[in-house]
Amino acid sequence: MKYPIVFLCFAFGLSSLVQADDWPNFQGPTRNGISKEIGLKLSGWDRSPPSVLWKKELNEGFGGAAISRNEVFLVDRDLGERDHVLCLSLEDGSEKWRFTFDYAGKLSFHGSRGTPLVEDDAVYYVSGFGQVFRINRETHREDWMVSIQDDYGSPPPKWGWAQSPVAVGNVIIVPAMSEKVGLIGLDKESGRELWRTDGFGDSHSTPTVLSLHGVEQVVFVSTLRDGDDGTGTTISVLPETGEVLWNTDVYFNKIPIPFATKVTEELVFLTGGYDCGSCMLKVRNDGGDWNVEKVFDMIQGTQIHPPFLIGDHIFFLANENSNHKGEARKKGGLMCMDFDGNIAWHTGDDPFMGRGNMILVDGHLLIQDGEVGYLRSVKPSPEGYEEVALYDVFGKKAEVDEQIAKQEGRAVIKMPDFKYWSPMALSNGRIIMRGQDHLKCLDLR
């Protein structure tokens, strides 16, 4: 059975001119990493590379950017001391304002996590230590703050709260992840709790909003707090009330990070790293009676960033800790598979691309190489890997290219991993990329 090409539906009826859109939250306006901008320069970078419009020095961290009304928002953290929510100009990177929150403490893997959620009047973010903020865009001050640790008795997960807030209507949805409380729904205006679910364990995955069988629902992937007994939970709730529609324990990942991906009205793909693989779920709704079953398992998975549904295939970086070195790299790279789990192709270690982020725009996958920070433009096809452009955004080629190293009489860095893991953001032809301790804005117009 054939399914419609996802990226074509966004281009329908648009002119050949660049179409601008905000990127107001994690994974963009559609929450699935898909941009509807067209007319960008996505090939020919060897002759005419993208211009670097500006760059900004940051502290070490992984927090991604959101873009709204030509303003860039992200979280920076002074090591062990405080968070800064930064508002920058998309045009030149200048700082327009900042909100600072003092909170002492260190987490494994230093710095910020998550991506802010930006709306017309407010910015919402979840700190690594579990404080949920609403910051007023006009006054640049805190409207409210909820402390998950203090209010729900939740100890920090392994790497702290790495989730991004999710908004549906007047509800902000975040994971509490205490022994007795799982997800919570907070009132946008006041921060008052609207609902809560029972506890179900830990996660570093962000809740995601899916429409299955015409019902909008929030799906969340988690595991028991001890993480290694093989018990996982995937739960679905109504965003307005927190009512549980369905839950299942058929998929276990000891450290869930990618969110659930909708494949069809009844198929949902779950994936992750740490040798826990992936799983396809079939979700049925029989007059309000929801049932879930496992369709298949596979050993391959993507450790950090979610897959992409393009046409009747799924694309993801099948890279994780265990295949980052030696011959094991040949089992990874960008992977293309059908909805039955049959692998059409994968790139192995040529190119490998680490645990980088991807964006789908105008029929191209833009892939930030998680190892060296290259930006690759790829035409996704079940027929094979087709890279149409590459740009060395962070200047790492000289350090990892054997020919350059030989010419300069020095050793090359083999199988590097500079940890370019932050999610990208795209708005009005400008793409924001983070290299842990600095931010760059490239012009793709």
Render pLDDT for 98-154 as a digit per residue (tens, 0 to 9). 999 999 999 988 899 999 999 999 999 999 999 999 999 999 999 999 999 999 999
Q: How far apart are CA 32 and CA 307, in angstroms?
A: 9
Name, in order, each residue with C-beta under 8 angstroms of 229's C-beta and a sequence gap of 6 or more.
none
Largest CA distance in the chain: 70
Domain ranges within the chain, ordered by starting residue = 210-304
Residue 430 tokens, joined: 């400008």
Query: What does the pLDDT look like over 194-233, one tens digit per residue?
Result: 999 999 989 999 999 999 999 999 999 999 866 557 789 9
Give the SS3 label for residue 278: strand
Please, is 250 exposed, middle or buried when counting C-beta atoms within 10 Å of its C-beta (0-12, 13-18, 19+)?
A: middle
What's the pTM?
A: 0.93
445 residues of the chain, pLDDT tens digit each = 444 444 434 333 333 455 568 999 999 999 999 999 999 999 999 999 999 999 999 999 999 999 999 999 999 999 999 999 999 999 999 999 999 999 999 998 889 999 999 999 999 999 999 999 999 999 999 999 999 999 999 998 889 999 999 999 999 999 999 999 999 999 999 999 999 999 998 999 999 999 999 999 999 999 986 655 778 999 999 999 999 999 999 999 999 999 999 999 999 999 999 999 999 999 999 999 999 999 999 999 999 999 999 999 999 999 999 999 999 999 999 999 999 999 999 999 999 999 999 999 999 999 999 999 999 999 999 999 999 999 999 999 888 888 888 888 888 888 889 999 999 999 999 999 999 999 999 999 9
Q: Could you tell me how many helices (H) and strands (E) the chain has, helices first?
A: 4, 33
Please state the separation of Cα 236 from the chain's center in Å: 19
Query: What does the pLDDT look like over 370-382, one tens digit per residue?
Result: 999 999 999 999 9
Q: Quote the pLDDT of residue 404.
A: 86
Give the SS3 label for residue 427: strand
Q: How far apart are CA 278 and CA 17, in angstroms?
A: 39
DSSP β-ladder status, 181-187 and 171-175: antiparallel
Phi, psi angle pair for 322, to nearest 5°: -75, -15
CA 431 to each of CA 52, 356, 393: distance values in angstroms, whole numbers, following the listed order? 10, 15, 11
Tell me the sheet residues that pair with 212. Answer: 215
The beta strands (E) that lie in 148-277 are given as: 166-168, 171-175, 181-187, 193-198, 208-212, 215-223, 232-237, 244-248, 261-262, 267-271
CA 94 to each of CA 74, 89, 90: distance values in angstroms, whole numbers, following the listed order? 13, 5, 8
C-alpha closest to that of 242 among 164, 299, 169, 311: 169
Q: How far apart are CA 146 and CA 126, in angstroms?
A: 9
Phi, psi angle pair for 406, to nearest 5°: -65, -45
Q: How far apart are CA 274 and CA 256, in angstroms?
A: 9
Q: Quote the pLDDT of residue 209.
A: 98
What single-letter DSSP state applies at residue 343?
E
Name, in order, each residue with C-beta under 8 angstroms of 136's C-beta and a sequence gap of 6 or more.
121, 122, 142, 143
C-alpha closest to that of 202 among 226, 238, 171, 184: 226
Q: How far apart are the first and last CA of the chain?
A: 37
DSSP β-ladder status, 117-118 and 95-102: unpaired
Phi, psi angle pair for 108, to nearest 5°: -60, 130
Contact call for residues 240 and 168 (beta carbons, < 8 A): yes
The beta strands (E) that lie in 250-374 are given as: 261-262, 267-271, 278-286, 289-298, 308-310, 313-317, 334-338, 343-346, 358-361, 364-368
Name, in order, each residue with C-beta under 8 angstroms of 128's C-beta and a sequence gap of 6 or more.
77, 83, 107, 112, 113, 114, 156, 159, 160, 161, 162
Q: Quote the pLDDT of residue 226.
A: 60
Q: How far apart are CA 196 and CA 303, in angstroms?
A: 28
Tell me the sheet residues that pair with 219. Answer: 208, 236
